[in-house]
Amino acid sequence: MSLTTPVSLFQVNEQASITSPKGFISTGIHAGMKKRKLDLGAIICSVPATVAAVYTTNAFQAAPLQITQENIGVEGKLRAIVVNSGNANACTGERGIKDAKNTVKQTAEMLQIPVHQVGLASTGVIGQFLPMEKLLSGLEQVLSTANKAGGESFAKSILTTDTSTKKVQVTMNIDGKKITIAGVAKGSGMIHPNMATMLGFITTDAEIHPYHLQSLLWQATDKTFNMITVDGDCSTNDTVTVMASGLAENSPLHPNHPDWAAFQAGFTFVCQELAKKIANDGEGATRLIEVQVTGASNIDMARKVAKAIVGSNLVKSAVFGADANWGRILCAAGYGEPLIDTDQIEIKLGPILVVNKGLPVDFDETKAKEVLKQNKVDIFVDLHQGEHLATAWGCDLTYDYVKINASYRT
């Protein structure tokens, strides 16, 4: 949990599925873009769903992102999102745009919906053209077989180097109605500086105005998806998309709604847990690293320090080797935010104090090594300069990371 997650406002559902909110169906199939694994999926809503989205900051935005942004811009509604893995359709020029538009057109015709109510997402190898014959052949199967039980196959169909699916679901009561928020994501590399080579999809049956949904997504992304890192690279295809069907029939949500705090907490929790699952499944990773920074003079300082520490290759390597090398943490904090007071900083590895007022303290190396061998490694940094805090997530840097990325295309 983060330091500020009010989990008492909602309930976490262990059997998570992107189709749990009212109005949604999905599925995933093997269309032939990957050798064996599922590689094509779709989320379909029975009504035009209010939509919000955030996208990669990479200048080379992939074709599906460009088309999706255009379509959402028409009326802020989507009925379907088609997702393929194995091929990013990025850096593919005019043909990439044409293929994306053709996919949208075919989807709209098969579902008998307006073209602008179809969104796209792709992930995989950059610079290769989509195998359109395979994609369009598979598209007909995906759209005709999508169902309420298809959440698991969809979650599998969007994966690339991931070792597991990433799903989260919460419920809460709003206006006496049961509201569900569900999320699914993929991503295990290129997670930096904002979002990642990641795709995230969130569905809810809440009724909420598009402006407030977009604002909520921006806020949640800053605290969650933008606070994870694996390897310091930024992808061309990062997207998080939220669809709200409104079929729970609550009164429209907004910041002054009496149940807004519960919805906001549940929504942020879904984003946070998906982000942590991505960091925990970093390519070749063996440990999740959580860095909690407190005592910052402003939120920007807290986030910079947390991201610098969790993104440091030296810190990540030390965690992999279970080496309590606190100097690497101190160094990363210093270049993350040069304005920190070096005479005040305090660092703990789990419960073990290793730095106090900027100076080393005696500690038990054996106990510190035990902390660093846990599946989840907690690093606490108190700057003693204010009241602001932030949490960032990452993973250790292992031999397997190099193996995976040295032969990614083969």
- 123-132 pLDDT, tens digit per residue, is 988 889 999 9
Output the average pLDDT for the chain: 91
CATH 3.10.20.340 correct for 288-406:
yes
- 206-221 pLDDT, tens digit per residue, is 999 999 999 999 999 9
| pLDDT score, position 233 | 47
Strand partners for 376: 288
pLDDT at 7 over 70: no
pLDDT at 409 over 60: no
Report the CATH number of the 7-280 domain. 3.60.70.12
What are the sequence ranges of the domains in the chain? 7-280, 288-406
Q: Among the options 50, 161, 197, 294, which is catalytic? A: 197
Q: Is 197 a catalytic residue?
A: yes
| pLDDT score, position 187 | 79
- 246-277 pLDDT, tens digit per residue, is 999 999 999 999 999 999 999 999 999 999 99
What pTM did the predictor assign?
0.86
pLDDT at 338 over 80: yes
- 108-124 pLDDT, tens digit per residue, is 999 999 999 999 999 98
| pLDDT score, position 6 | 60
Task: Give the residue from 312, 242, 301 showing the smallest Cα distance to 43.
Answer: 242
Percentage of residues in the chain having pLDDT higher than 70: 91
| pLDDT score, position 196 | 37
